[in-house]
Chain A
Amino acid sequence: MKRRNRLVMIGFLGPAVILYVTFIVYPFLSSLRYSLYNWNGVGPLTNFIGLKNFSYILFSRDFSPQFWNAVVHNLYFFVLSMVLTTIAGLGLAYVLMSIHERPSRWFQVIYFIPMVVPPIVIAYLWSMYLEPNFGAIPTILRALHLNALDVPYLGSHALALPTIAVISAWAGMGFPILIFLAAFISVPEELFDAAKVDGAGRWRTFFSVVFPVIRPTFLSVMTLNFVGAFGTFDYIYIMEGTQAGPDYATDVLGTLFYRTAFGGFGTTAQGVGLATALAVLGFLIVMIASAILVFLQKRAAVNL
């Protein structure tokens, strides 16, 4: 019996573990190793340089401004998407909870649709709508005589990044809405009744009854948003190119990594060692932030 159990275990667990170790764990460990070498990707790994790639990224005059520029943009992306997710996602889920179930389901389906549309379509669609000469949005703005708002959103140093963050949030809002809604639904009815008996209004009910219960969910969504913000690549690559224009105003770790590893329009690759070191730093940032958020989430769940 014991031996048969062992065979069952290996048979059931084996395929998943082999696939995962080969294509996730092993490449991850390789990343750690490559990051310690000066290596351009071909030939043997011989030129061991310790942590020099890391100090070059973090402190050198040539590279570190690009690195910090990108990290700040990732953080900016995270903060803006968190603000939008909280206002729109949490707000819409709260409103959805208070209407009848049938229409609520219809709205949920509609809100999820942009999430299933390929990023290439979303990115191109909004580039077209924002095109300064005959795009739909400038046309509306001109028709309404709002000339002050008729600016090249994707071509402006100050506006390009927030514009892309808003587009990305527009596309991704369906998931947090459903997650929040599921959390709201799981709030026991008695709590609402108790709040009513105590004479709490709508806002009061939300902040002192509902929000504490869904705080773990809120922190999960925050974690997802953080991982998402630090993995941002598609929209920026498609809408602003590998140079993350204008003048690196939309450069994030993803595009910086891509240029460092593979080169790109007008640049040459700077080496695999350096690029993997960049990747490892990105992973550390995400890992530390997730660990903190998961810790807070566990504490919030215990305090319930």
Chain B
Amino acid sequence: MQAKRPWIQYVILVIYALIVILPLLNLVFLSFKDLAGIAQHPFGPPATWHWSNYAQAWTDGNLLTYLVNTAIVSVLSVFIILLFSSAAAYVLARFEFRGNQLIYLTFLAGLALPIQMIAIPLFILMKHLNLLDHLLSVVLVYSASGLSFSVFLLVNFIRSVPRDLEEAAFLDGANHWQVYIRVILPLIRPSLTTVGLLNFIHSWNGFFFPLILLSNPEHMTVAVGVLSFIGEYATQWNLLLPALVIVMLPTIIVFVIASRQFIRNMTAGAIKI
């Protein structure tokens, strides 16, 4: 479908792109200015680039600890979600047994559950398990809550694919495990990468559960750790802004690297809702 005046469309798209990008780009510019520069020139690139802002924010802000903790949480959560949900989805999509529909619907119901709503029992449960103030508590919550979306997508995806390949593999003498590894996993790879990226971002940026489950700064993730940094250095914007840039860079980098495939998968219907 081609339009009569394509330039109008580009004008609209570029304007929105600027609305999206300029506030973030300006944050990067501001983070290189000194205090007076931030207050007097709230826009545009700095006259002199104060790299020392970054050096000081890095050492004062305990940022390395937060980044490592957050990476542990995100990577572990994504790994658990992809492994558990793909195996479960294979069974739910391909095996007929009593309770199949019930299990599927129970996973599905989790999509409508605002997760904060179960915060108190989770807090108490973590206390009993001796996991309070332990990164593993956050990993478990994100893994469990991420399963709903992932199982839902993967079951529908597998169901939409004909069984021919699997049946051929069974005829060749493969067992379920081999079929799962050699046929199912390659088949659902686009959905897996998409689900993996979305969950990575979600657990990296997660705020509520680290806030209530973690307390020791040594165990904190970036989203909450930076908040205490903000409380402490309230007016020292020349230190806060570099910290914010450092915190937002990892997800942006991961996304940009994965973006080609992610966008292609999304528009090709890897996420059908």
Whether both chains belong to one complex is answered with yes
Given A12-B87, A16-B84 in contact, is the A41-B263 Cβ separation under 8 Å? no
Which of A5, A9, A92, A257: most chain B CB closer than 10 A?
Answer: A9
Cβ contact within 8 Å between B205 and A27: no
Q: For chain B, what secondary structure do more than half of its interface residues adopt (helix, strand, loop), or is it mixed?
A: helix
Query: Could you say which residues of chain B place their CB within 8 Å of the CB of A221?
Result: 273
A279 with B117: CB separation less than 8 A: yes
- List of A residues within 8 angstroms of B143 by Cβ: 19, 23
A227 touches B111 (CB 8 A): yes
Interface stretch of the complex, out of B45-53, B54-62, B102-110, B158-166? B102-110
Q: Fill in one digit per residue for B1-38: 1 if any A CB lies within 8 Å of its CB, else 0.
A: 11100100110110011011101101100000000001
For residue A226, give the distance in angstroms from its CB to the closest CB of chain B.
9
The answer to whether A95 and B13 touch across the interface, beta carbons within 8 angstroms, is yes
Asked whether A105 lies within 8 Å of B207 as measured between CB atoms, the reply is no
Check B42–A136 contact: CB distance below 8 A.
yes
Chain B residues with a Cβ closer than 8 Å to the other chain, count: 96
Q: When the two chains form their complex, are residues A20 and B125 in contact, meaning their CB atoms are under 8 A apart?
A: no
Residue pair B87, A112 in contact (C-beta under 8 Å) = no
In the bound complex, CA of A272 to CA of B255 (Å): 39
Contacts of B148 in A (CB 8 A): 20, 24
Contact A20 B144 (CB under 8 A): yes
Check A8 against B116 for contact (C-beta < 8 Å): no
Give the CA-CA distance A221 to B10 in the complex, in Å. 25
Question: Do the beta carbons of A99 and B144 come within 8 Å of each other?
Answer: no
Q: Is the CB of B112 within 8 A of A286?
A: yes
Decide if B247 touches A118 in the complex (CB within 8 Å). Answer: yes
Within 8 A of A (CB), among B79-114: 80, 83-85, 87-88, 90-92, 95, 97, 103, 106-107, 110-114
| B120 A279 Cβ-Cβ under 8 A | yes
Closest B residue to A173 by beta carbon equals B20
Which secondary structure dominates chain A's binding surface? helix
Q: Find chain A residues with CB under 8 A from B204 CB.
A: 118
B153 within 8 A of A: no
A193 to chain B, nearest CB (A): 9
Binary flags per residue of A238-252, CB closer than 8 Å to B gives 1, else 0: 100000000000000
A54 interfacial contact with B, CB 8 Å: no
B202: shortest Cβ distance to chain A, in Å?
10
Least CB distance, B47 to chain A, in whole angstroms: 17
Q: Is A220 an interface residue (CB 8 A)?
A: yes
Within the complex, what minimum Cβ distance (angstroms) separates B131 from chain A?
11
Q: How many residues of A contact B (CB 8 A)?
A: 91
Is A125 located at the chain interface by the 8 A CB criterion?
Answer: yes
For A97, the closest partner residue in chain B by CB is B1
List which B238-271 residues lie within 8 A (CB) of chain A: 240, 244, 247-248, 251-252, 254-256, 259-260, 263-264, 266-269, 271
**What 1/0 mask marks residues of chain A from 265 to 293 whose CB sits below 8 Å from any chain B CB?**
00000001001100110110011001000
User: When A99-B13, A217-B273, A262-B212 are in contact, do A182 and B267 touch as well, CB less than 8 Å?
Assistant: yes
Interface residue? A154 (CB, 8 A): no
Closest 3 CB pairs of A and B: A27-B121, A23-B144, A16-B88
What 19 new A-B contacts, CB under 8 Å, besides A16-B147, A19-B147?
Answer: A16-B84, A19-B143, A22-B125, A23-B145, A27-B118, A27-B125, A28-B121, A30-B124, A98-B3, A98-B6, A105-B263, A108-B267, A113-B20, A116-B251, A120-B224, A182-B269, A202-B3, A276-B121, A286-B112
B contact residues vs A (CB 8 Å cutoff): 1-3, 6, 9-10, 12-13, 16-17, 19-21, 23-24, 26-27, 38-40, 42-43, 80, 83-85, 87-88, 90-92, 95, 97, 103, 106-107, 110-122, 124-125, 140-141, 143-145, 147-148, 151, 175-177, 180, 201, 204-205, 207-208, 212, 222-224, 226-227, 230, 237, 240, 244, 247-248, 251-252, 254-256, 259-260, 263-264, 266-269, 271-273
